[in-house]
Amino acid sequence: MINKKVNNYFLILFSILPISIVSGPAVSLINILLIDLSFLVLILFIKDYSFLKSKPIKYLFFIYVYLVFNSFISLDKEIGLLRNLGFLRLIILFAAFNYFFNKEKFLRIVLTVWLLILTVILFDIFWESINGQNIFGFGGDTYGRRIVSFFKDEPIVGGFVNSLYLIIIGFLFLQFKNKKNLILFISIIFLIAIFLTGERSNTIRALLGISFFYILFKDYDFKKKLIFFSSTLVLFLILLFNSDYLKLRYVNQIKSYLTTNQIYFNLYSSGYEVFKNYKLFGVGNKNYRIEACNIDEKEIKKKENYICNTHPHQIYFELLSEHGIIGFLLLLLLFYNLFFSKIFQTLKENNYIQIGCLIYLFLTFLPLLPSGAFFNDYMITLFMINLSIFYSSSKKLNIFCKQNKKN
């Protein structure tokens, strides 16, 4: 058992995780390292190492070993090395989540704070959509009126909200079973906020995510679900046809990408071309741009279909181009064992926090839709938070539950 002061210390660190991510990569890294180092000291103190034998920890270490190996066969061995070595911090974070979220009160307090943080962010998104700048003056025309909120100079707030809102909706259903209509209303507010950011892929994922969530939710009849989806669609259409900006983002630009300006399809094709030239192990994590942008005159013909960019903007083409067929299949196999194989078990458990996490993890691997670089610090941190809560919120999966330490 840990004393109250230690528990409160970790309670603060976990509670401010969303704030640290919004504050920037450096703050997020410091917060996670504080959790990791403090957790390692705690584990050394209590001398409980049995969780290391659990299958999820072993799978994550397999990924880590592979990523380190991938660094040494990369085109540029240094560019992805720190990112690959840094994956270790997320394995420790995963274990820390499981240790502390195994306590229901701890989980409840942290998710309540996260709800308050997201409420402020939602308010800020609506404020910026009306006034052109967020409450601190960030935004404007920097990204063509796209909403940045507290992220200052990056239009990624929609993806951030999308990564956490299903966890919060699941938490609300578990805590306030008799307030279902209110929670339906909150769900619509989340969706509208993501829609207003103008982030097309995240809006589609959010719509699919909430659709899966409510289809799986057993306490609503078909009529109530139909009313929810119809109301959401009507609100979206009203907002769309009353905003030139939203029409530009969701109608004109999508039409352009599908017909004349096929930038994403060209990027996918470029990723596939890189894969064809490095079929077995790819060019290495974070090395797509090294291959696609540094074109030697002697190799122009070989690389004439390349598009210079940071990554192919689609997870499957990214994994194929940077990890080859061997790395691609290995990573998919490990992720299958980590959560895809747990789908039916999760549905039987009826834990809506866990279901929310599973839907987010599943939609991360949705084909065709554009996506951020998977092993980017920001993206992989959000992914691992969902994976961590997926395990830690479940008595059947939590690696610190006695029956799960060897499974």
pLDDT at 218: 76
pLDDT at 295: 62
Per the CB < 8 A criterion, the answer to whether 191 and 232 are in contact is: yes
Tell me the mean pLDDT in the region 163-185.
91
Does 226 have pLDDT greater than 90? no
User: How many C-beta atoms lie closer than 10 Å to residue 228's C-beta?
Assistant: 19
pLDDT confidence tier of residue 390, bands split at 50, 70 and 90: very high
**Ranges 137-141, 181-185, 330-334: which has the least confidence:** 137-141
Per-residue b or e along 95-117, where b marks 16 or more CB atoms closer than 10 Å to that residue's CB: bbbbbbbbeeebbeebbebbbeb
pLDDT confidence tier of residue 101, bands split at 50, 70 and 90: very high
pLDDT at 403: 56
pLDDT at 271: 93
Tell me the mean pLDDT in the region 120-125.
97
pLDDT confidence tier of residue 380, bands split at 50, 70 and 90: very high
pLDDT at 62: 97
pLDDT confidence tier of residue 215, bands split at 50, 70 and 90: confident
pLDDT at 177: 79
Each residue's pLDDT tens digit, 50-91 = 899 999 999 999 999 999 999 999 988 888 888 899 999 999
Does 179 have pLDDT greater than 60? yes
Cα distances (Å, whole numbers) of residue 234 to 225, 237, 239, 342, 370: 14, 5, 9, 35, 26
* SS (HEC) of 68-130: HHHHHCCCCCCCCHHHHHCHHHHHHHHHHHHHHCCCHHHHHHHHHHHHHHHHHHHHHHHHHHH
Does 108 have pLDDT greater than 60? yes
DSSP state of 151: G
Does 379 have pLDDT greater than 70? yes
Name the CA radius of gyration of the chain, rounded: 22
Tell me the mean pLDDT in the region 10-16.
97
Distance CA 291, CA 271 (A): 10
pLDDT at 225: 83
Using a pLDDT cut of 70, give the percent of the chain over it: 95
Average pLDDT, the chain: 90
DSSP state of 187: H
pLDDT confidence tier of residue 1, bands split at 50, 70 and 90: low
pLDDT at 347: 87
Q: Which tokens in the block code for residue 144?
A: 């063509």
Does 328 have pLDDT greater than 60? yes
pLDDT at 212: 92
pLDDT at 294: 78
Using a pLDDT cut of 90, give the percent of the chain over it: 67
Does 405 have pLDDT greater than 90? no
Query: Which residue type is seen at 30?
Result: I
